[in-house]
Amino acid sequence: MLKSKPVTACQSPRVICRALLKQQPHLFRHGLESISEHVYKRQLSSSEASTSCSQAAVPSHVACIMDGNFRWGCRRGGDWRRGHEEGVSALRRVVKFCRRDGVKALTVYAFSTENWERSHEEVGFLMRLMERTLDMEVPELRSQGVRVSFAGNRAALPESLQRVMSRVEEQTANNSDLILCVCLSYGGQQDIIQAVRQICLEVQQGKLAPDQVTEKSLSERLSTYMTRMLVGEPDLLIRTSGEQRLSNFLLWECAYTELYFTPTCWPDFDFRDWQDAMLHYASRRRRYGGRSKQGNGQTDD
């Protein structure tokens, strides 16, 4: 009889599942999703006990760059619209994963300031899709305890979408299980600039002294502040579709955020991809520029 190799906190659940199924084929009757979830729970327990992994196996605040929708649609019949629509389904899944695992906030990059440079047809489709989706999802979000907030330059968005955004915020304001912060017409550089302009105006008006300008005062004037005030800065940023850059997303907020990149396009992002991201986070030791203590009392190199 073959002996199973020990599960380590940093192994991919997919690799472990394949090994388990080779050694114990009868596990097929349980289904890969069930086996994968079992492995995930074992690994989280292992990572919490391991000195080589973070003590907090699940991040409080996750940020997502939901990349690859257009390419996904073009590769499957050439309809980029379907890629964006399936991207909405992927976001629904990730919201459920967050609620199940105890994540307190999910911030997503839905439409950037640079996205305005896309074709008039695509921009118009995305505006209508976001308006329709927000309107349709309110009952489900309320029943799941999800509070919705928005970041970015609202004034640049269609008035009809702005009205829906305000209504969704109002109708979900009392929810507390998960904060879903949707970044629309958002750019990290632009958000910092508007915060600096606000501070300059307050200094000019005598409301704020120059020596009162601090990191905290600037942070409080960013459009993402409400979510971060309640939950903290992002612990983990996930970017899909293989690109490995921030693309002007949460530049201030992600100073000490763990970064995770996956080749999976956003519409295909599923439970196993989520597991891989969580295990990556659990394997990290977060020092914030300092040195963490090892089990023997020594500090890291």
Active site residue 67: yes
Q: Which of 67, 235, 273, 276 is catalytic?
A: 67
| 175 neighbors 149 (Cβ within 8 angstroms) | no
* Residues across the chain: 301
- 79 tagged catalytic: no
Count the alpha carbons within 13 Å of 239 in the hemisphere toward its beta carbon: 13
Contacts of 259 (CB under 8 A, 6+ apart): 236, 237, 239
**Which residues of the chain form beta strands (DSSP E)?**
61-65, 105-112, 146-151, 178-186, 236-239, 258-261
Q: What angle do CA 209, 150, 216 make, to 5 degrees?
A: 25
Annotated active-site residue in 79, 101, 115, 191: 115
How far is Cα 69 from Cα 16, in angstroms, rounded to an integer? 29
d(CA 19, CA 25): 10
- Cα pseudo-dihedral 188, 123, 91, 43, rounded to 10: -50
With the CA atoms of 70, 75, 80 and 82 taken in that order, what torsion angle do they form, in degrees rounded to the nearest 10? -110
Please give the positions annotated as active site. Answer: 67, 115
